Amino acid sequence: MPLPVEYEKFDTREARSRFVAHRFADYLKGSILDVGCFNAPLRDILKFGTYTGIDMAGCPDLVVNLEETEHLPFENGMFDCVLCIDVLEHLDNLHAIFSELIRVSGCWIIVSLPNCWCNARRPIEKGKGKFSHYGLPLEKPVDRHKWFFSLSEAIAFIEGKVNESGLQIADMFISEKPRNAIARLARKAMYSRVAYQNRYSGTLWAVLQKPA
C-alpha cells in the first residue's frame, strides 16, 4: 500500500524541529528523549513534556558519544517518547542504537530516515557537482553519513524492525519538497511509484508504538 506524502521543505534544523513539534504533538507528551539533538531546538519549541536531549556535539542536556556507545545511559522504558530525527544514518552502530531507542521507550518511538538517493541523483546523472554528507574532503570531517540507502530500503528497514521487535506502526509517511505540480505529474507518469519515490522523495517518517 502506498504511503501518504506530505509536501514540506526544511531549510534549517529549527524549521524541521518546528515541523516535528507540530506534526507529532499528540505523541510529544510526558518524558521525551531526543537522541542526536545537537543544539536541541525542540527544547524551547515543545510546549508540553519533560525534555532531555543527548548528543556528542552541540548543546545537549547530556553528552553521549553515539558513535561509540551501544548502550544509552537510561533505564528500560524510562521515556514516554523517544525521538531520533535524521540521526541513524550518521552512525556506524545504527542497528545497536535503533535497538536502544526501543529499549528506553515506554511507548512511542519517532524516527526519520533521509532518502540519500534523492540528493545524489542529479550530481551522479550530470557527472558533476557534489552532495552533502558524502564526498572526499581534504580533512576528516566532524560528521558525515555512514550509510547510503534509498527510500525503498528505509521503508523495508522500518517494516523489518517492526516485525522483528513486535512493534506497531502508528503512523508512517513520506515528506517531499514542494514542486511544480505539472512537473510532478509528468515525472509520476514517466516512472513507477517506487522509482519516483527513490528519485524524488525526501524523508521517511515513522511513529512506532511498543506493545502495552
Per run of 10 residues, the mean pLDDT along the chain (length 212 residues) is 90 92 96 97 91 96 94 98 97 97 98 94 88 87 92 98 96 94 91 94 97 83
CA distance 189 to 208: 32
Residue identified by cell 503512523 is: 171
Q: What is the CATH number of the domain that holds 69?
A: 3.40.50.150
pLDDT on residue 192: 93
**pTM of the full structure:** 0.95
φ, ψ of residue 175 to 5 degrees: the values are -105, 140
Geometric angle at alpha carbon 23, from 57 and 149, rounded to 5°: 60
Host domain of residue 190: 5-209
- Sort 2 into a burial class: Cβ within 10 Å, 0-12 / 13-18 / 19+: exposed
Question: How many domains are there within the chain?
Answer: 1
Phi-psi region of 34 (alpha: psi -120 to 50; beta: other; left: phi over 0): beta
pLDDT on residue 47: 82
Number of H helices, E strands in the chain: 7, 8
